[in-house]
Chains A and B, each alone.
Chain A
């Protein structure tokens, strides 16, 4: 089976947020109540949520004296070396041959471990853990993911990962300030980025690591029965997603 991916060519993104809306439309996700004060800018919602699996981040920055404005699609990057997959105490997460990471909603117990372990802080925990599922119900029926389908400028493309990597390198060659991201990280992401600037501007780590919690739970998994483990971890970490303040410490 060929590994598949989304190419997010940020150099072509106009920030129209059609992908953000299309994700909600296809997945039948309701709108959250937001306010300008949440971000004091164009971006909204401020963050991913159980109802928001795809979010366009608005990044205003300065390159010497010149202002720049870029737009980054924030969603699960579907890592090959997937912390969520490893840590899930009830094995509710599947990794398909294509590289998609799918949280099986029937099995998920909303313990929040996947969020804690995720190097990119992607899953959100409501009644269940939720995140982008690569529109498997579309792609297995020969349709592109909804975000890709709706993108007017082809800033999002869907296809075999190797082909998209090649294309990403071809695009990035046009400008010495442009970088490809997602080739090596975590044994290869299934979202490849072409970034019009340094990684730090886009808050993307060069060497992302699994949340440290993973080593701890690996050990626990061997010695404690599953159900007990879940209750214990829920006690420790809670099942909500309000712990974002600790994220940076959890990341190495």
Chain B
């Protein structure tokens, strides 16, 4: 999130798109309802179904799954055409004025520089670049009139997304689109704040990253980034997903969002710095954070002479190491062992039955979990002959979050320490204890037997005490000086010369005072705008709202004087939050550099680094009932196809319906809640939601058994026939949808079929997040 949960009270209009906030983030509604009650805020809900969030909305707009970019593009075009934008904000705070290479073009769904290979494209992105003058400065036209300016190119690009076309694609009636555009567009007024909230309904598509880009473009045009009550707010589906991402749960980033080195790009530390360190923007400090990370990893062994043990750091080769790829390799027998830690791909992975089959090729699996979930017990799945499975499986019982000390980082980046409430039962141990014991055992083995490359393990800096004290880990994360272990107060103290160490630079300062660590503070704000600066610690540097220079105009006057974050008075900056800019600069000097994490220092309406193009373009999901109305390019051409044989054809008569998948309030991910009797009582069985018209067509009533199938598999469930689903009118035909709930599996107290047996193994072109939210299926009455 750019903003934070408590800040929702400052919003004037909420746009819930690609999430179901009331269902999956119920506590968000505390703040949304507060804003609605106290200041008459409005809630817009865009969703394929009429959901629990829709039930609270002031405006509900249906959308066909997989058409968010088209929907948002329609809104963007409308606000551009009708001047529902904050032009001063756009001019100063974004790259709207930048001139783009004269060879840049877009036609027939493809950007310039394309080399087509069947349905796929490889882009030479040279023509997407900014124009530069002789001194290397980007050429800009602050009148925004130049035809090669981002602003004019953007107008042209989006002009194709008129309401009628967008309605044809999305199935959202034109008048609803217009209502959404006008209501959310009303936040272009400087004193109004629009809050765009999203989750997996934006990201889990082959074009998910461009959906996110669309949300950012919309919010920038409205002047909603950096202001209280505004923001692009990615709501995390689990209490510590933010923390997991901060600490590099993804294969291609290191703690603190630094890229994992690649052997072909960064063979040496100086190569890494040359390629990865921009000349301007805050990331120009990357070497300080990177060297400090290496010092945290290898301590005294990391010296300037040995490039701080850079050679010890594993490097990526040119192979994709994302989830889909790993399971493909496992299926081919190329993966011998798996540590599945708090994960359950047997239920949560795409084409889950295929992933369960892949698990059979493992020699061993170590699983760490609070329950014996479906992944751990894949060899016990009903119908599976365990005598045919060679895999040796070890289950290490883990302590639940309330059975251990530690911090979690919420969606608003607040790092909150929580104390153990009671002892874990039996042999259950904290994740930290388990990690410590595994590491020490591996290290001892390397020390005894050496091995191909033992030093990264044997020389690792690893000392968290006999009882693996999480506070010692916290201190390592916080960062310290290497002479005397004095903790740093912020990442500004980190150095690239080996005199500092830091496990995750963005957390600098959260634990610098060991007596009263900021992460443990619990002082509610007495008066203010919800910033609560003395309640825990928000990364970075306790800043609650990112890019907050943009909350005031060029002269330092807040756009909204009622909720100011920073303002210029008496020749200095006054603040309600930690400034996200060099506050020694006066308003004029800081006016055109509010986005300090970008080398341009101005936000990107146009993003030349994306895989499939600098502006978002609508492509259909990989599986779709219709041909793309916008162009002949059917689905994201930059998206890698892993299993072409598992794709249902466009408009397939075997699989004529759209399937989408989601969660319900009562259950949590895969197994955890299905061992909780009260929750099983309230949501006992899997069901699939369909409209009355689809129910009539296939001859079922609520409660009847149905079989839902896709090119990947089939499941049986009870039908839930509801008024809340309606067919979409798409390009003069009616398209029906089947809603799948994916919590169930064969383990635990409440069991049921695995909905993800139906979902496809294809991912976004930039991130490879799987396309769980839109694919094709069939549904028939009856079952086995």
Contacts and interface: CB of A to CB of B under 8 A. Distances in A.
A32 B679 CA distance: 11
B724 interface: yes
B511 to A, nearest CB: 30
Given A44-B681, A69-B52, A12 B33 contact: yes
A60 B722 contact: yes
B766 interface: no
A44 B682 contact: yes
Contacts of A69: 50, 52, 54-55, 724
Interface residues of A, number: 36
Given A25-B678, A40-B702, A69-B50, A16 B26 contact: yes
A183 B658 CA distance: 48
In the complex, which range does the number of interface residues on chain B fall in?
35 or more
A207 interface: no
B27 interface: yes
Contacts of A24: 678
Contacts of A60: 722-724
Interface stretch (B250-258, B281-289, B683-691): B683-691
Interface string B43-55: 0000000101111
> Interface on chain B toward A: helix, strand, loop, or mixed SS?
mixed
Contacts of B424: none
A15 B665 CA distance: 9
Interface string A48-69: 0000000000001110001111
Contact of B678 (A21, A61, A68): A21
B703 A154 contact: no
B190 to A, nearest CB: 27
Given A14-B26, A15-B52, A41-B702, A35 B685 contact: yes
Contact of A45 (B29, B681, B685): B681
A39 B8 CA distance: 35
Contacts, number: 100
B50 A152 contact: no
A35 B27 CA distance: 27
Given A41-B720, A152-B26, A153-B29, A15 B55 contact: yes
B22 interface: yes
A33 B682 CA distance: 9
Contact of A17 (B54, B55, B665, B703): B665
Interface string A15-50: 111101100110000111111111011101100000
Nearest to A69: B55
A67 B30 CA distance: 24
Interface in B18-62: 22-23, 26-27, 29-30, 33, 37, 50, 52-56, 60
B720 A31 contact: no
A62 to B, nearest CB: 6
B677 A30 contact: yes
B27 A152 contact: yes
A36 B718 contact: yes
Contacts of B678: 21, 24-25, 31
Contact of A70 (B55, B665, B684, B726): B55
B534 interface: no
A37 B718 contact: yes
Contacts of B146: none
Contacts of A17: 665-666, 682
B186 interface: no
A88 to B, nearest CB: 30
A31 B677 CA distance: 6
A44 B680 CA distance: 9
Interface string A154-172: 1000000000000000000
Contact of A16 (B37, B665, B702): B665
A132 B679 CA distance: 20
A210 to B, nearest CB: 32
A66 B680 CA distance: 31
Nearest to B722: A60
Contacts of A67: 50, 723-724, 726
Contact of B30 (A45, A66, A153): A153
Contacts of A15: 22, 52, 55, 665
Contacts of B723: 60-62, 67
10 contacts: A16-B26, A20-B682, A31-B678, A32-B681, A40-B720, A40-B721, A41-B722, A62-B723, A70-B55, A152-B27
Interface of A: 12, 14-18, 20-21, 24-25, 30-38, 40-42, 44-45, 60-62, 66-71, 152-154
Interface of B: 22-23, 26-27, 29-30, 33, 37, 50, 52-56, 60, 664-666, 677-687, 702-703, 718, 720-724, 726
What 5 A-B pairs have minimum CB-CB distances, sorted nearest first?
A31-B677, A40-B702, A31-B681, A36-B685, A14-B22
Given A17-B666, A36-B718, 10 more contacts: A12-B37, A32-B681, A37-B703, A38-B684, A60-B724, A67-B724, A67-B726, A68-B55, A69-B55, A153-B26
